[in-house]
Amino acid sequence: MRKSTGKMIKMAAAAVLLTTALSGCGQEPAKTAQAAQTEQAQPLSATFYVYDTVATIKIYDEKATEQHIDEIRDLLGRIDLELSRTNEKSDLYKVNAEAGKSAVKVSQGTYDVVKMALAYAKDTGGLIDPSIGPLINLWDIGHEGAQVPAKTDLGKARSLTDYRSVTLDEANRTIKLEKKGMVLDLGSIGKGYAADQVSAYLHDHQLDSALINLGGSSIIAVGGKPGGADWNVGLQDPDKNRGSQLGTIQINDETIDSSGVYERFFIQDGVRYHHILDPRTGYPTQNGLKSITIVSDKATDADALSTAAFVMGLEDGMAYIEQQPGVEAFFIMDDNQIHATSGLKERIKLSSAIYRMADE
């Protein structure tokens, strides 16, 4: 039996990156000048490790101070303490430790995130499920020694993956997992929630031009560049080394988030097993999708919906995203065709001859 482990850092599949040339093609002279001024400006920047992700924040505003950075660090620290699965002092750790036993009182932030995650689960019929922790633990994809689990173990983990067995008590602000062995995992929403909290902080302090980069797979634009021009964001070619673009897209006060089969994986007996699991089967999805990229007004939506739409597959995922206000997406298939929702087709500027829009 032959096994190999893929990249452990979420950055390879259709990851997004800021292009070195921030000015867009065909801009008016005034906007081009503004873009050049932005390139020369030195942002106030800082890097944090939060929720198992390296987060880099760059604030392009002369009003930004080190105190703002310190307060953002404290904000992210509080979120990490609330939502970390591994920190024994965190709310989530305590909820998981009491699975099948008792309800746990949590912070308002933790309660709100779990409530949102359960709402996504209900809306998608469980295709995205915050109680998927037993399956994630069983597969352990992204770590040495990962292998295809035994069917009996998969059956047990699937029986514990059921968002309907998570009980919320709003009056007492408690969360209870009804079955022993259940595990909440907020990996499909936690980073987006953290980014939205930072974005809200920046807006509240009138810092209206900033970028938040979450591990290379998500970029959150707070406003536009100084002067109001759009940010030009490169779209990573999922089959090539980081920095190789398939095209670009411009965003302004939006989030772009990607998920794909090349992010974390292992190969066993010639079969690639990636980290995006289908709760219905317990196995990684196999639906011809190479990657999906979401463009959304909110990072929380982008984070959650990129996973949900991936599990749905092209046809159902496309239809689902089209129904979501303020959300667009494009899907890259194994044959390198790109399918985009109606509001995104004209925004993608391809630069690679390998990929093409499906309707062209």
pLDDT in tens, 137-153: 999 998 899 999 999 99
Predicted confidence (pLDDT) at residue 11 exceeds the cutoff of 80: no
Q: How far apart are CA 191 and CA 229, in angstroms?
A: 26
The CA-atom distances, in angstroms, between 272 and each of 2, 15, 149, 263, 275 are 11, 19, 14, 12, 10
Asked if 132 contacts 277 with a C-beta cutoff of 8 angstroms, the reply is yes
Which helix (H) or strand (E) segment is 324 a member of? none
pLDDT value of position 217? 81
pLDDT at 185 over 50: yes
Cα–Cα distance, 195 to 197 (Å, whole number) = 5
Q: What pLDDT score was predicted for residue 17?
A: 54
- CA separation for the pair 270, 1 (Å, rounded): 9
How many other C-beta atoms can be found within 10 angstroms of the C-beta atom of residue 90?
Answer: 20
- The whole-number pLDDT of residue 282 equals 97
Q: What is the CA radius of gyration of the chain?
A: 20
- Please choose, from the candidates 293, 311, 340, the residue with its C-alpha nearest in 3D space to the C-alpha of residue 356: 340
Q: How many angstroms from the chain centroid is the CA of residue 164?
A: 23
pLDDT band with cut points at 50, 70 and 90 for residue 237 = confident
Residue 326 has pLDDT above 80, yes or no: yes
Q: What is the β-pairing status of strands 337-340 and 356-357?
A: parallel
| Contact in structure between 217 and 259 (CB atoms under 8 Å) | yes
Banded model confidence at residue 10, pLDDT cuts 50, 70, 90: very low
Question: 178 is written with which tokens?
Answer: 């009804």
CA distance 207 to 203: 6
Span 87-96, average pLDDT: 96
For the stretch 68-80, pLDDT in tens is 999 999 999 999 8
- CA angle 9/211/216 to nearest 5° reads 15
Predicted confidence (pLDDT) at residue 268 exceeds the cutoff of 80: yes
pLDDT band at 42 (very low <50, low <70, confident <90, very high): confident
pLDDT of residue 60: 96
Q: In this model, does residue 14 exceed pLDDT 50?
A: no
In sequence order, what DSSP letters do the residues of 26-62 get, joined into one string?
T--HHHHHHHHHHHHS--EEEEEEETTEEEEEEE--T
Of 264, 37, 46, the residue nearest 136 (C-alpha):
264
Hey, what are 98's tokens?
């009491």
Half-sphere exposure of 246 (CA within 13 A, CB side): 24
What is the pTM (predicted TM-score) of this model? 0.86
pLDDT at 170 over 70: yes
User: Does pLDDT of 23 surpass 50?
Assistant: no
Coil/strand/helix, residue 268: strand
Asked whether 81 and 224 are in contact (CB, 8 A), the reply is no
Q: How confident is the model at residue 102, as a pLDDT? A: 98
Among 31-35, 163-167, 295-299, 344-348, which stretch is predicted with the lowest mean pLDDT? 31-35
Residue 122: pLDDT over 60: yes
Structure-token pair, residue 308: 């949900």
Question: To the nearest whole percent, how much of the chain has pLDDT over 70?
Answer: 88
Distance CA 65, CA 356 (A): 44
pLDDT score for 223: 96
Distance between CA 290 and CA 265 in Å, rounded?
A: 13
Q: Provide the pLDDT for residue 259.
A: 86
The pLDDT of residue 205 is 97
Closest CA to 357 of 243, 255, 244, 249: 249
* Interatomic CA distance for residues 327 and 305, integer angstroms: 9
CA distance 60 to 57: 10
More confident residue, 243 or 169: 169
Give the C-alpha separation, 332 to 290, whole Å: 5
Inform me whether the pLDDT recorded for 96 exceeds 50: yes
